[in-house]
Structure 1
Amino acid sequence: MTSGSVDVNSFILLAALLLIVGVTVTKFSSRLGMPSLVLFILIGMLFGSDGLGIIYFHDAEQAQLIGILALVVILFEGGTHTTWKTVKPIVKPAVSLATVGVLITSLIVGFAAKYVMGFSWLEALLLGSIVGSTDAAAVFASLKERNINTKMAATLEAESGSNDPMAMLLTIIFIEILVTEEPNYYVLATSFFWQMGVGLLLGIGFGKLATKAINKINLDSSGLYPIFALSFALLTYSVTSLFQASGLLAVYIAAIIIGNSEITYRHSIFRFNEGFAWMAQILMFIILGLLAFPENILSLDVIINGLLLSAVLMLVARPVATFLSTAGMKYSLKEKTFLSWAGLRGAVPIVLATFPIVAGIDSGQLIFNVVFFIVLTSALIQGSTISRVAKWLGLSGPKKDTPHHSLELISIGKANAEIIEFQADEETPIVGRTLQDIEFPKSALVSAIVRDGELVTPYGETVIQTDDFLYILVSRKEKQQLRSFLKPEQGS
């Protein structure tokens, strides 16, 4: 066996072990009350050169590339699960938090960094900009399976999905000023509007294009549809970035449009995206953990400075930014308090912290170390207490009822039919009625019912109950008719 094959085999073995360990720790994260991203980062640090010494990784550019690719996948998965009905009422405050909120947070943290770290004003404001935004990966992961008020969860998800452009723009502006002798301030100032505007427009365009393509193109295998959908996420990011606009924002907008549209093989696409997003998240945080050297991150200076700046961020900057950016909007004091506490930092600040290193700024490594420590502190303290704070403030929502059953669907090939999954609730018009009394569209057939985790074989006298999961075989032509029939406004 050649040395080259040994290296390849060792790499594959290591990748398998990292994924197995990463997947396994997600089970323990909920029991420990600790966000899984913290455990992923710790795995990376453990396997790194300052830990067990199994992997030596110090390439900030590669970490940046992996991080951005992972964020595209995570934002796409999160966006497809975002319901427009819940997001529409909170668009204005979410956008305000994603812009004004990020700016205020960055300025306050930058002001503190100036005196805590002894940085120049530009370096201090650069650090503030890097930690100015909340993180989609951290927020999506922390809110999953947690019974948070729908309004609060929607606000946090929409904010984290759309605040990257402001943080990235501020980071790039201060890096440009630091490394460029004569920066073009006019271009830098107008860049934000270009990034947001073009990112929004291209996101809408690619979202509609992807929806039409998924529905119109008849692929030979149902397994190709999830890959086809994900390819549009990558296309959206790359094309938007080529136009010097926000690719991450465009991906999130496109995903919302796709997720709220009628698409073929919806179930397969969503399940694939969910698994792939978890894999991307695991690998991203492990890589970022490998990039961090515990000897530097846990040095006394970094710990002291990091704790001081974390306190400023969590207790001063985020609350001030939240209350000012949502002033005059329909949020109670308790809701604003919760939003202030739930502003999690995660992958985005760490990825942005690689920018100064790549740009060759002298204080780049120190900035990265402090930002990394701030993210760990935010994830450990804020991430592990979100549910308790929500309960304390009376902002807990209904328990998320995620089905624990598994339904494997056999592909029906080129047949013009699909099986859709539908969960009945109190307002569903068919609840309390027997199947034989329900006038479904002609082609619709209830194939299975899952009730309390148990399979119920449907027959004419079966009564539909609240929280039942119905699996209905229907022709594609009548799919929309069926969905309209099941809506509350189409009640009996």
Structure 2
Amino acid sequence: MIPMLILAATVLLLCVFSSKLLYRFGIPALLIFLVLGMLFGSDGIAGIQFDNYSLVETVSSFCLIFIMFYGGFGTNWKTAKPVIAPSIWLATAGVVITALLVGWFSWIVLKTTLLEGMLVGAVVASTDAASVFSILRSRKLNLKGGLASMLEVESGSNDPIAYMLTIAVLTMMSTNGETSIVSMVAMQLIFGAGVGFALAFLSIFILKRINFEIEGLYTIYVVAIVVLGYALCQQIGGNGYLCVYIMGIMLGNTKIKYKRTLVHFFDGLSWIMQMILFFMLGLLSFPSQIPAIIVPAVLISLFLIFVARPAAVFGILSWFKFPTKEKLFVSWVGMRGAASIVFAIFALTFGVGIKNDVFHIVFFVALFSVAVQGTLTPLLAKKLKLVEKDNSVFKTFTDYQDEAEMHLIEVTIDTRNPWNGRTLNEANIPEGILVVMIKRDGQSIVPNGSTLLLTGDVLVLSGENFDGIPL
């Protein structure tokens, strides 16, 4: 037990410090953590023997719950709304087009069976949100024309569609067409969206009206409701990943208590989940087996980058009259990542006969994509003159805080003040306003959430905008 804890702590520390060293160069966290996993794996320096695909599937599914939830939670709806239509089309029709083209290529050129080719296409069809977020944030890459928001929404919302396609193809491979794919897809979408919206509305109602007294309980409540949403969806045949993404969008763009605390908590939790997921996937791989699949993997990678992704992007964004240089850039930023590798593991544990080494093919495609596309993305953005210097890319995330001047004001609590007789938690003080100090009977009190506000109290408030404050 103790050696395992030491190893786990060492791995996390290596992930943290390696990210610190390489983050500034725009190298996505995915690549760093995957490579570390490979170094610790069977063919690596540490030589840890690990090939438990079932365990990885279970842990990966759990990690993806919070990664996808935070993908929605961290998206700023106000900045994303103007580009929501092309984003959704890319996340849905774009994924389908990409999957079909790669599936056709695998069938015709690489001589796989039709269904196995379509399986490869479905698995690699979605783009990786973690890599996109990492590059935009680390290089402070704000893009013109709402491109940053469009890429964030697309990459954050297209994994559920790719997952649905993967399960659909696997179902056809296992039942020979006896199961209705149309009804299965309909159930995934209807139940996934339905449970997601219902639980999000319920959670918002509870978070706005119920006081849990202890600040930490709010994060525990949201964690529980996210896990419940995913589990309920999966139980009734819905798309759990779609459910938690919708919940993330709604909760992340609603004014609720301790919003900043929730953002910071889920940001840290998402990073831990990414470290565990990416490292474990690297640990599961066998680099010695990659030479055997290098030719088909390289061909699929090149076809995906230069044919399938551009065909999907140009075919969809042409309807929205995007300039050619913007379509070129969006085509290039379609990086594959951890979700594709996880879906490949789903295929291996589904119980269908697969002739090709799909796991290592997809693993290489993801590595190649992140290493080449991820590294060259900042350079391409500058060459196409798509970088906007006057604004910050962080405005596209809900945890962005503008560098505005802070002000202090004093508010006296009288008998007519709606805060009178309430605790700070119950007072529903607007987000962004901090009660720095309370002056009471000649004394200064440093308040907390349970501090009761009394007649005659003088509150010292800090903030940028005091609209809604009862003066």
Residue 156 of structure 1 corresponds to which residue in structure 2? 151
Query: 4+ residue runs of structure 1 moved beyond 4 angstroms?
Result: 433-439, 442-448, 475-478, 482-487
Alignment length, in residue pairs? Answer: 430
Unaligned runs of 5+ in 2: 420-428, 437-448, 454-458
Residue 340 of structure 1 corresponds to which residue in structure 2? 331
Judged with a 3 Å threshold, the aligned counterparts in structure 2 of structure 1 residues 349 and 166 are, in CA distance, closer, same or farther, namely same
Measured in 1, the distance between the counterparts of 2:10 and 2:218 equals 29
1:223 is aligned to 2:202: no
TM-score, length of structure 1 as denominator length: 0.79
Structure 1 residue 50 displacement after superposition: 1.0
Residue 71 of structure 1 corresponds to which residue in structure 2? 64
Q: 2:286 aligns with which of 293, 296, 302?
A: 293
Q: 1:147 aligns with which of 118, 141, 145?
A: 141
Structure 1 residue 77 displacement after superposition: 1.9
1:316 is aligned to 2:310: no
Residue 357 of structure 2 corresponds to which residue in structure 1? 366
Unaligned runs of 5+ in 1: 1-7, 404-419, 426-430, 449-472, 488-492
Measured in 2, the distance between the counterparts of 1:437 and 1:148 equals 38
Structure 1 residue 484 displacement after superposition: 7.2
What are the Cα deviations for residues 17-55 of structure 1, in whole angstroms up to 9, with x where unaligned? 111111111112224432121110011111111112442
Measured in 1, the distance between the counterparts of 2:435 and 2:177 equals 68
Q: 2:243 aligns with which of 241, 245, 250?
A: 250
Judged with a 3 Å threshold, the aligned counterparts in structure 2 of structure 1 residues 306 and 172 are, in CA distance, closer, same or farther, namely same
Residue 264 of structure 1 corresponds to which residue in structure 2? 257
Amino acid in structure 1 at the alignment position of 2:402: Q
Residue 123 of structure 1 corresponds to which residue in structure 2? 116
Residue 350 of structure 1 corresponds to which residue in structure 2? 341
TM-score, length of structure 2 as denominator length: 0.83
**Secondary structure class of the residue paired with 1:89:** helix
Residue 29 of structure 2 corresponds to which residue in structure 1? 36
Amino acid in structure 2 at the alignment position of 1:235: L
1:273 is aligned to 2:266: yes
Residue 130 of structure 2 corresponds to which residue in structure 1? 137
Amino acid in structure 1 at the alignment position of 2:358: I
**Secondary structure class of the residue paired with 1:328:** helix
Judged with a 3 Å threshold, the aligned counterparts in structure 2 of structure 1 residues 31 and 143 are, in CA distance, closer, same or farther, namely closer
Q: Percent same amino acid among aligned pairs?
A: 34
Residue 175 of structure 2 corresponds to which residue in structure 1? 180
Structure 1 residue 330 displacement after superposition: 4.0
**Secondary structure class of the residue paired with 2:320:** coil
**Secondary structure class of the residue paired with 2:375:** coil
Judged with a 3 Å threshold, the aligned counterparts in structure 2 of structure 1 residues 395 and 358 are, in CA distance, closer, same or farther, namely same
Q: 1:94 aligns with which of 87, 92, 95?
A: 87
User: Retained in 2: the 8 A contact 1:75–1:137?
Assistant: no
Amino acid in structure 1 at the alignment position of 2:293: V
Measured in 1, the distance between the counterparts of 2:309 and 2:400 equals 40
User: Retained in 2: the 8 A contact 1:357–1:365?
Assistant: no
Structure 1 residue 263 displacement after superposition: 1.0
Measured in 2, the distance between the counterparts of 1:421 and 1:353 equals 35
Alignment of 1:177-216 (within 5 A): 177-184=172-179, 187-216=180-209
Residue 402 of structure 2 corresponds to which residue in structure 1? 423
Measured in 1, the distance between the counterparts of 2:353 and 2:248 equals 39
Q: CA RMSD in A?
A: 3.3
What are the Cα deviations for residues 248-289 of structure 1, in whole angstroms up to 9, with x where unaligned? 111111111111111111121111111111111001000111
Measured in 1, the distance between the counterparts of 2:35 and 2:385 equals 33
Residue 170 of structure 1 corresponds to which residue in structure 2? 165
